[in-house]
Amino acid sequence: MTDSTATEAPVSLTQNAAEQIRSLLAEEKDSAAAKGLRVYVEGGGCSGMQYGMVFDETRTDDLTADFHGVAVFVDPFSANYLRGAVVDFVDSLNGGGFKISNPNARQACGCGKSFEA
């Protein structure tokens, strides 16, 4: 982590996740160089809250960090629900893709995209 607020980073990336994100960013056509990964939560999903990830630019109140060369942005609201979470990427035919391990989730649904805080 290289950012000055990295000690406060609520989310971290595994090496596999960072490699996949760098690959996806390289395919972006519109100013991908200035973008990083925004990880957030919002109401919805089967368990009350759901995860979201999108390529975005940093905002003034974001908590930011750098993991394996990927900038990660989390807004203060989401940080309350994501503190200690780890984003991984699993490359498999069954159940592959990005996975978020969140120690704050009391329970998660079967799809892995929503949780109860």
Q: How many domains does the chain have?
A: 1
Name the percent of the chain lying above pLDDT 70: 76
Which among 116, 97, 96, 107 is positioned nearest to 43, based on CA atoms? 116
- Is residue 1, in this structure, part of any structural domain at all? no
Instruction: For 70-106, write each residue's pLDDT tens digit.
Output: 999 999 999 998 999 999 998 877 777 888 888 887 7
Chain-centroid distance of CA 57 in Å reads 14
Please write the tens of the pLDDT for every residue from 2-25.
443 444 679 999 999 999 999 998
**Structural domain harbouring 77:** 6-116
Residue 55 or residue 114, greater confidence = 55
Model pTM above 0.85 = no
Domain contains 106 = yes
CATH number of residue 68's parent domain: 2.60.300.12
